[in-house]
Amino acid sequence: MILTVTLNPAVDHTVELDRELTDGTVARTDGSQFDPGGKGINVSKYLVEQDIQTIATGFVGDFLGQFLQEELTGSDILTDFVEISGCTRLNTTILTPNAEFKINQDGPIIDDTAVESIIETIKRHSPRTVVIAGSLPPGVGPEIIDRVAEAGSWEVVVDVRGEALRTLEAEYALCKPNREELAAATGEDVGSLEGAFSAVRSLREQGFERVVASLGEDGAIMATSDAVLHTPALDVDVVDTVGAGDALLSGVLAERHRGGTDETALCAGVAVASRVVSVSGTSVPLLDDVSVNIEEMSAIAY
């Protein structure tokens, strides 16, 4: 079972406009939706669609936290959240014909008691894999990730900011930075594929068994002990990039959970991400034919 930990979950508010934003004018729209969000939660949503057993946990509070839990339960996603006194944050994405704007709140302050409650929650479910993903809430630093990683015998996967990746000290099965996070974690120039290849090798040596980096239109790469693998992006019409990295990670984890190779896992990640960017918001598209795409894809070793 794969348990996801979203330390700073959110309700994702996506607004679609049919014209550009203009200063001093009122924009009106009927195109709006609210989705449970946060990187770990997104991973669980995509894992469920791929028939992988998962449970989502993290910190929730107030009316937005209640909405988030109800929505996940209604989508048949198992949850076991730790409730806190603060309010779950609201993240807003505004889509115009030519631009995408994001407004993310910081989130509620977390104390040490809540951190211990998360660790006890994880232990109660005895997961095979723990995924810690997303931003850190106010009140805690990257050391909380190491505490969770060292609290049990589970393998730990992390998808956090590059600055946090740089400071982690425990051993990790996998980390998944995007291009910006990869640069922040290593201090290397990742503008080219060759630069990204070098950076994932460097990051792997910092205590990560595997490094999977999402590179947008350049696809994705994975560093293992044997090679750096590259899978190009699929040719799709991109509607919304929200959740793309989380979808990629879910595809990699689902294929590895089924016993697939590193090559097929990377292809699965790219295939799932390609499907997700073709819809708006973090709603989950059908992923039943992803395996067909995988058969037509390849991961090239460098």
> CB count, 10 Å around CB of 120?
11
- Retrieve residue 123's tokens: 């232990």
Count the alpha carbons within 13 Å of 301 in the hemisphere toward its beta carbon: 8
Which three-class secondary structure state does DSSP give residue 249? Answer: helix
* Residue 33 three-state SS: strand
- Nearest Cα to Cα of residue 132 among 164, 160, 91, 171: 160
- What are the two backbone dihedrals, phi and then psi, of residue 156, each rounded to the nearest 5 degrees? -120, 130
How far is 272 from 293, CA to CA, in rounded Å?
A: 9
Where in the sequence numbering do the catalytic residues fall? 246
